A and B are shown apart, each in its own frame.
Chain A
Amino acid sequence: MLTLHGVRKTFYDPGRGPVPAVDGITASAHGGVVAVVGANGAGKSTLLRLIATLLVPDEGRITVAGLDVTKDPEGVRRHLGYLSTTTRLYPRLTGRELLRHIGGCYGLEGAALTEALDRQVVNFALAGFLDQRLEGCSTGQLQRINLARTLIADPPVLILDEPTTGLDLVASAQVVDAVRAARKTERLILLCTHHLTEVEACADRLWLLRDGKLAWDGAPADLGTGAGLDAAVRAHLGLNSP
């Protein structure tokens, strides 16, 4: 479903010169929830943006559902739902207008669009504020709509880049529940997070990123030692224990 082969992406920083944000990552994933973990600047968001065709790799090859991200970016995006801390919603539209617009962009029309919309309304309990302009919604409500718009076309690959950032405990739990609910065998969910509890709660696999490189690729349980996942991750990332 997703293959990465020797993927590199370098940015230029006026102070530091060329900075390799993603440095030759090779990996593949075919389903389940893959947690992407790493310190700030490790290259997590860049990697997810590369997969989402928002950035273009300098070197290497990425395929999603068999499609190359550089050769058929529209086709790749048709198989993707992408949510990050920087993907916000149109404040002057209502939730219904937004979901209909997004569904339309994925090619849903007529009864199929209405059915998909109704499904998301039920799944994320949107009925109470669906016809309200988004500028009047709370942060939690906005994130539920954001998740709903990501899932409206039922994409086989879901990219969630820190979906719980800025949310309170209740809203965070709702998002984790939504990720669990969205998990199915034929779907790959890439979940980038700083909260290892979320990794433990829903991840089947863990990608640890360090300085743009893939430092660990395997099941979270295989990484953990007797000290638990938190300590194991810290050890792999070269961080001191608290």
Chain B
Amino acid sequence: MIISAAAWRIAKKDGLEVLRDRRTLFINLILPVLLYPLLTLFLIQVVQLAQATKRDPPRIATIGVPAPALRFLKEPAPDEKTAPANKSLASPAENLPELVSLPPEAISALTAIAVKLKTPTPEDRKAALGILRQHRLVTALIVLNPEARPVEVLRLNDDAHPRMDEAKSATDRALESWRKEQVKATLDAAQVPMTALTPIATTTLSLAPVAEAVRTRIAGIIPLLLVILATSGAFFPAMDLIAGERERGTLETLLSLPIRRRDVFIGKLLVCCAAALAAVILNLLSLVFTVGIMGAQLAKAGGGLDLAGIAGVGGGTLLLCVVMLLPLTVTVAALALALAGVANSVKEANNTLAPLILVVTVAGAVAAMPRIEPNLALDLVPITGVVLALKESLQSPHLPWMHLALAGLSSLAVAAVVVTWATRLLESERFRYPGLVRAGWGRWRKWGLKPPVPGGLEVLGIYALAVAGMTMGSGLLTNAPAAAIVVIPLLAFVALPALLHAWAGAYPLSAIHLGRPTARHLLAGLALVLPAIALSATVGALQATVIDPKLLEQGGDKVMEIIAQVRAAGGIGLVLLCVAVAPGICEEILCRGTLLAGLRQGLGTLGAVLISAFLFAVLHMSPWRFAPQCVLGIGLALLCLRCGSIWPGVIVHAGHNGLLVLAELASSGQVPGVQPLVAFARQVPPMTWGFVVPPLLVALAATGFRLSRKASQPGS
């Protein structure tokens, strides 16, 4: 996409407007810089204030506890005595509980309850709690018989007391010290050393700095945070620059100027992206700075955690984050402008944009969840793929290049589709005057383009439905016969949504390339079968030079396994029906019918051909077949546009699939009656094939090209 001088002019004007809008300026530039330091300062102040406030120690009562045990409640533990004094933390003496002497009647009541220790009734519990609360006690320690072995100690706790944790810690420590003293006395009497109790001494040495370990654990949140920041950064400029302009009455002024509407949108998109990126970068810098300072402060304070250097993510990683986020930011900014553009006012735009934030947050949060790791399918999912790849990059010692590349490419493709679609929105009067121009849709249309043609966004919705159906619906058929596993998803999730969409939209068959073909075009399809096979086989061979052949074989094995099952159930005929005819018809209806026709409205011919081919390849959900299918998809799309009909492409598609499968089966002797042919083919020297096949393919391709001429324009 070339950014014209007019788009830059609009961007300059809009940028000036945004910079003079105090609200946007505050939210996008000032708030990010101030937010984290201010919040941290507030946090530190609150913690320090809380620590500086003298707190009453937890009150504990003891009944029948012998003097040696009481000693441990009255003095710090041996390890606390040697700990270095720390001004910011409470001194060991301050951690000691306050021992309370109870009046005799309270002692007798609690002792009576303690006697019924094994079977306390609710009334006993209530009475004991009443006594504890009457004397503002957190815990009461009761020893009924100090001479018995083992000594039975009963702890009555008011678990709802705010100082419960401190009281429990103090009593635990004292009882443990008392226990150790008792054990030591017993062992000394038997002349057994204390080490007899700890025959194995384990020492764990954490090699990675604490800061790095903490950083790795929080790495999952950082990409999510960046995505949310990018979205919210585009939020206010998008509202101001479209809905705000419409509300202020300046949009009509702008649209009456001699500038292409696309340039107006691109100018606004530039400002939105710049604002979003500024918000991300400023937030990031502020966050890194704040966390760094906080880590250094904690390290200086000697609080036990050496968090110095926690912000040391590395410039390369930050750059990677920005590069990966760039297409996503552009996508989100374009979507934000598009959504804000359907609103008549900023207030309305708030409502239309809110779902975007929600979708982005959920899609990103899924990826940020623990134990979710990138894979080839998730890489292709917008937002989720990018967040996952970035999470993996921040957590793993090695960069996941394949996931980064796939997620990045997918993100770029989505950005290209969204931006190309969005930049044409202002060319639609429904977008320019949303309150004025209402015409309904499909069968409910009252007026408008005749004959109607599907829009880019709606066909992408149908495609998303097909992918979701293929992904989730196929899981319901795991126990079905192999033929059903192949054919039912194609019919139910690929062809049916496309046909229902055509019916609901009242689109004429010619508008979605389903018109009746001429005999000449069908012959063109027949002629192009072998060239199509040669093309996809060549791409497959090239792909094998860069991708591990084992991976490719694994993918092929799965397909052949299913084909073997179908063949076992119904022979070669059923195999051809399932892997050639059904995909040929169903996938062509969706990809070259609905998708190509709709994308052409939004993206133009070239964009529609490329994106429909990309989506056709994605539909197969097979990385090892991606490149050949993508190239085949481009060829089929061009043929469809040339003929104005999908049917020649159906012949090519079905012929391509059918002949490839037949060749595979024939090579392993599974096709009856073709053995002599296979034997003959193997006897012919390769050199002879080299002389015969290329000219034959060229001749067929030229014939097909010639026969497919004089196509009628789709939608006409």
Contacts and interface: CB of A to CB of B under 8 A. Distances in A.
B429 interface: yes
Q: Most B CB atoms within 10 A — which of A12, A78, A80?
A: A12
Contacts of B13: 90, 93, 97, 101
Contact of A105 (B9, B250, B438): B9
A93 B16 contact: yes
A102 B253 CA distance: 10
Given A11-B436, A12-B440, A92-B21, A77 B256 contact: yes
Contact of A104 (B9, B256, B440, B447): B9
Interface string A41-68: 0000000000011111010000000000
A84 B250 CA distance: 11
B439 A90 contact: no
Contacts of B6: 105
Given A12-B447, A105-B259, A88 B249 contact: yes
Contacts of A56: 429
Interface string B1-37: 0000010010011001100110000000000000000
A87 B17 contact: no
B446 A17 contact: yes
A77 to B, nearest CB: 4
A92 B257 contact: no
Contact of B17 (A75, A78, A92, A102): A92
Nearest to B249: A88
A53 B255 CA distance: 9
Contacts of B439: 12
A89 B253 contact: yes
A105 B248 CA distance: 20
A91 B248 CA distance: 9
Given A12-B440, A92-B20, A105-B9, A18 B447 contact: yes
A105 B447 contact: no
Nearest to B246: A86
B666 to A, nearest CB: 57
Given A12-B438, A93-B13, A101-B13, A18 B446 contact: yes
B257 A52 contact: no
B256 A80 contact: yes
Nearest to A90: B250
Interface string B252-287: 110111111000000000000000000000000000
Contact of B252 (A14, A54, A75, A93): A54
A74 interface: yes
Contact of A87 (B253, B433, B436): B253
A86 B437 CA distance: 16
Interface string A196-224: 00000000000000000000000000000
A10 interface: yes
Given A87-B249, A92-B16, A52 B256 contact: yes
A91 B447 CA distance: 37
A107 B447 CA distance: 37
B252 A87 contact: yes
A54 B432 contact: yes
Interface string A144-164: 000001000000000000000
A124 interface: no
A101 B9 CA distance: 8
A129 interface: no
Contacts of A104: 9
Contacts of B440: 12
Q: Most B CB atoms within 10 A — which of A14, A17, A18, A101?
A: A101
Given A18-B447, A54-B432, A104-B9, A84 B252 contact: yes
Contact of A86 (B252, B258, B260): B252
Given A55-B433, A87-B253, A101-B9, A77 B17 contact: no
Contact of B447 (A10, A14, A86, A89): A10
A105 B17 contact: no
B258 A106 contact: yes
B447 A58 contact: yes
A40 B21 CA distance: 36
A77 B260 CA distance: 10
Contacts of A92: 16-17, 20-21
Q: Most B CB atoms within 10 A — which of A18, A82, A90?
A: A90
A91 B240 CA distance: 13
A13 B282 CA distance: 48
A103 to B, nearest CB: 10
Given A11-B436, A18-B446, A104-B9, A90 B256 contact: no
Contacts of B256: 52-54, 77, 80, 82, 87
Nearest to A107: B258
Given A87-B249, A90-B250, A92-B21, A55 B429 contact: yes
Contacts of B438: 11-12, 14
Given A12-B440, A14-B438, A84-B252, A78 B258 contact: yes
A77 B253 CA distance: 12
Nearest to B253: A87
Contacts of B249: 86-88
B22 to A, nearest CB: 10
B425 to A, nearest CB: 14
Interface in A77-132: 77-78, 80, 82, 84, 86-93, 97, 101-102, 104-107
Contacts of A10: 447
Interface in A8-35: 10-12, 14, 17-18
Given A55-B433, A77-B256, A78-B258, A88 B248 contact: yes
Nearest to B261: A73
Contacts of A77: 256-259
A38 B22 CA distance: 43
A106 B259 CA distance: 8
A230 to B, nearest CB: 31
11 contacts: A11-B436, A54-B256, A54-B433, A55-B432, A87-B249, A87-B252, A88-B253, A89-B253, A90-B13, A90-B17, A97-B16
Given A88-B249, A91-B248, 10 more contacts: A12-B438, A17-B446, A54-B255, A87-B250, A88-B253, A89-B250, A89-B253, A101-B9, A102-B257, A106-B258
